[in-house]
Structure 1
Amino acid sequence: MEIEILKELQKIEQLLLIGCKNVLTPDDVSLMYGLSKDYLYHLTSDRMIPFHKPNGKKIFFHKDEVEAWLLKNPQDTDAEIRQRAAMFDLKKYGSMR
């Protein structure tokens, strides 16, 4: 039980330290956002996520770019979809009724 608590405390400490950084390693991104390192490397090799290679070997991520990438494809709520459909109906059929 004590070992599990120590591991959780270490994880919390890591997250607090990472939260202060703007330039992140793949390990940081993986821990902070719950993405596996394999998935991150897949995304970088397919050039789907912004990353930086200052010396041509190690890769780094800018925190703001990762967060922008994570949030770039928002999904509408049911209420937003219904509102848009109502507006479409008003524009298309409003003058006919």
Structure 2
Amino acid sequence: MSNFQIEEKLFQIENSISKLNIAVKTILSSEEAAIFLGLTPSYLYKLTSSRKIKFYKPLGKLNYFKKEDLEQFLLQNPSDSSDKLESEIFNHWKK
């Protein structure tokens, strides 16, 4: 096994441990929240500064996030399936 392969495996292991750490926690830092949401830290900052995502500032400096608030953010604006839309249209015209 080459050094490059070893470094690649170590990087994969490090990423896996990081993801497991985030999965267990209920309160996340900005960096962890960005990873959890799949966003860049700068875009997460933009969301917090425009108050589009809920966050907490216990000491007035660092932002923290509840995982449940992040999940609610991800689940906003649901899109209906085409089957549901078709049945609603059918029911509307049936009246």
Shared fold, TM over 0.5? yes
Is the radius of gyration larger for structure 1 or structure 2?
Answer: 1
The two structures, once aligned, show a CA RMSD in angstroms of 0.9
Paired residue for 2:53? 49
Alignment of 1:1-97 (within 5 A): 1-91=5-95
Pairwise CA distance, 1:30: 1.6
Aligned residues: 91
Deviating above 3 A after TM superposition, structure 1's stretches of 4 or more consecutive aligned residues are: none
Pairwise CA distance, 1:32: 2.0
Normalised TM-score (structure 1): 0.89
Normalised TM-score (structure 2): 0.91
The sequence identity of aligned pairs, in percent, is 33
Stretch of structure 1 that moved more, 67-76 or 28-37: 28-37
Provide the secondary structure at the position in 2 that maps to 1:24: strand
